Structure 1
Amino acid sequence: MSISDELGRLGELHQRGVLTDDEFTRAKARVLNGVASSTAAGGSAAVAALNALRRSRTDRWLGGVCGGLADFTGLAAWVWRLAFTLLMLCAGTGVLIYLLMWIFVPEAEAPLVNGQGRPA
C-alpha cells in the first residue's frame, strides 16, 4: 500500500468519525515519519556498505578484487574467482567487470606495524 493510499484511508476514517483529531494527527505523523526514516536509513546504509568495499592487500592473485569481495560478503575468495572465471566465458564479461572493479574499488589500507604510523 502506498503512502497516499494510507493517508487517504486515514482521511476517510477521520471524516467518518472513527478517528478523533488527535488520533488522526498521530497516525498521519506515524505514516509520514516511518516512510521518511526508512528511506533515509536504507539509502545511507546502502551507501555506507558500498563504501566499505575495498580490494584486499593480502588475499590477492592479481588486483585483490576477489579477496576484497570475500571480505565484504563473507564468501570464500575461491567462489568469487570461480564466478569471474565463469563470467569470462560469457563473452569476456568477467574480465570487464574485474578490470572495472580493479580500477574503481580502492585498495584496503596497509596494516600498521607495532602501532607505528608506518605501513607493513
Structure 2
Amino acid sequence: MNKLTKSSTDKILFGVCGGMADFFNLPSLIVRLLFVFVPGSIAIYLIFALFLPKKSLY
C-alpha cells in the first residue's frame, strides 16, 4: 500500500508536491501548478509540510 509522504528526492521546498505526485502517480509539475493556482492551497501546503512524514530511502 502506498502512503502519502514527503519526497526526499523530488522537492523544491519541503517535498510535499513531489510526495503527492508519487502518491497520485502524476507529474510533480502538475501538482505544483495546482498548488499555485488553486485559492487557499498555500495553507493546505503548509499543513502538509508540517505533518507529513518524510519518505524513507529504504
Normalization by structure 1: what TM-score? 0.45
When the two chains are superposed, the root-mean-square deviation of aligned CA atoms in Å is: 1.4
Say yes or no: does 1:77 pair with 2:28: yes
Q: Which consecutive aligned stretches of 4+ in structure 1 deviate over 3 angstroms post-superposition?
A: none
Identity of aligned residues (%): 38
Question: How many Å separate the matches in 2 of 1:110 and 1:79?
Answer: 24
Count residues in correspondence. Answer: 58
Say yes or no: does 1:103 pair with 2:50: yes
What is the Cα deviation at residue 74 of structure 1? 0.4
Say yes or no: does 1:67 pair with 2:27: no
What is the Cα deviation at residue 94 of structure 1? 1.5
Question: How many Å separate the matches in 2 of 1:95 and 1:70?
Answer: 17
Normalization by structure 2: what TM-score? 0.90
Structure possessing the higher relative contact order (Cα contacts under 8 Å, 6 or more residues apart):
2
What is the Cα deviation at residue 110 of structure 1? 2.9
What is the Cα deviation at residue 95 of structure 1? 1.0
Counterpart for residue 6 of structure 2: 55
Of Structure 1 and Structure 2, the greater helix share is in 1
Q: Which amino acid aligns with 1:60?
A: K
